[in-house]
Amino acid sequence: MTGSSLERVVLVTGGSRGIGLACARHFLALGDRVAVTYRSTPPPAEDERLMALTCDVTEPDQVEEAFSQVEARWGPVQVLVANAGITRDLLLLRMKEDDWAAVVDTNLSGAWRVAKRAVGPMVRARSGRIVLISSVSGLMGVPGQSNYAAAKAGLVGLGRSLARELASRQVTVNVVAPGVVDTDMLRSLGEARVAEMKALVPLGRVAAPEEVAAAVGFLASTAASYITGAVLAVDGGLGMGL
Amino acid sequence: MDNEAAFDKFKSCTVEVLQVKPEQVTPDARFADDLDADSLDLVELVMALEEAFDITVDESELEGVETVEQAFSLISSKL
């Protein structure tokens, strides 16, 4: 089996299903020690090797608690995948203050919070990997996703600023922009919308979460040591050129 | 804690975080020019000092702190 046998400590937020779970399983298969956070849905029982932590990334205390628990068990987080995210799709005219705030607080501020907490030990260790899960929506814009797309695009600015701040300490920060991925989040949008989106994808299909996890895994690997501030689209060509 | 002991503690934090020799940590040493500290180094140093001395340093208090003496003065004022 190829890959690192470095047994790194990995934390994936929103790692109990979808892209997050696929990422977690990817790292587990490499032999890493993997913790996932979730808000309400725990990971499947068969993923028993995962350290599963309840954590709402909109709550700084819970973020602190989650990190403390991982550190107590395995030591500092060496690879952070900031993946926790929600949608509240509504056309702007129908979108309420809370629909905006909740999505931005979870998807963008949540990533900021976990990155902030992870960075200290990474800086001291002079090594680390942060991967932020953005979305092709953030780059293209999507009707009904003014909140989601804004937050996801925001992750690019966040990621690149952190990439520049932390580069001198060999901490790389990159962004993965998935396109249409087969997850609960996608299914919640309804068949009609999914079909619409699929029709726009040059490769003509939706992605499996594992295909996004592979990109995340690559960026977290030693092979990607010279890659920082990059936005890697895993979207079947949907957002190419953006 | 007396002044000398405090300075020793301050010096060892500085040596560890900035990876410099103890002899370099003189009162008039400038963090940026003499101790080769970049902005991230300074953040790390402040965090280490906060932990070592059990104090908190507000961002605004770091304004104008450029030398070892100025930094130590700030720390001592909180002890």
Domains and CATH numbers, chain A: 9-234 (3.40.50.720)
Distance CA B43, CA A41 (A): 37
Residue of B36, B40, B44 for testing the chain A interface, max A β-carbons within 10 Å: B40
A171 contacts chain B (CB < 8 A) = no
For chain B, what is the total number of helices (H) and then of strands (E)?
A: 3, 0
**Could A120 and B47 be called an inter-chain contact, meaning their C-beta atoms sit closer than 8 Å?**
yes
Residue A167 per-residue DSSP state: G
Residue A88's pLDDT is what?
95
Residues of A forming the active site: 148
Residues of B forming the active site: 38
Contact A151, A137 (CB under 8 A): no
Distance CA B38, CA B70 (A): 17
**Could A123 and B38 be called an inter-chain contact, meaning their C-beta atoms sit closer than 8 Å?**
no
**Could A123 and B40 be called an inter-chain contact, meaning their C-beta atoms sit closer than 8 Å?**
yes
Contact A194, A201 (CB under 8 A): no
The one-digit pLDDT tens for each residue of chain A (242 residues) are 444 457 999 999 999 999 999 999 999 999 999 999 999 999 999 899 999 999 999 999 999 999 999 999 999 999 999 999 999 999 999 999 999 999 999 999 999 999 999 999 999 899 999 999 999 999 999 999 999 999 999 999 999 999 999 999 999 999 999 999 999 989 988 899 899 999 999 999 999 999 999 999 999 999 999 999 999 999 999 999 98
Smallest CA–CA distance, residue A56 to chain B, in Å, is: 26
Q: Find the DSSP H helices in chain A.
A: 18-29, 60-74, 97-104, 110-125, 136-140, 146-166, 184-187, 191-199, 209-220
Smallest CA–CA distance, residue A193 to chain B, in Å, is: 46
Q: Which of A161, A183, A180 is nearest to A234 (CA)?
A: A180
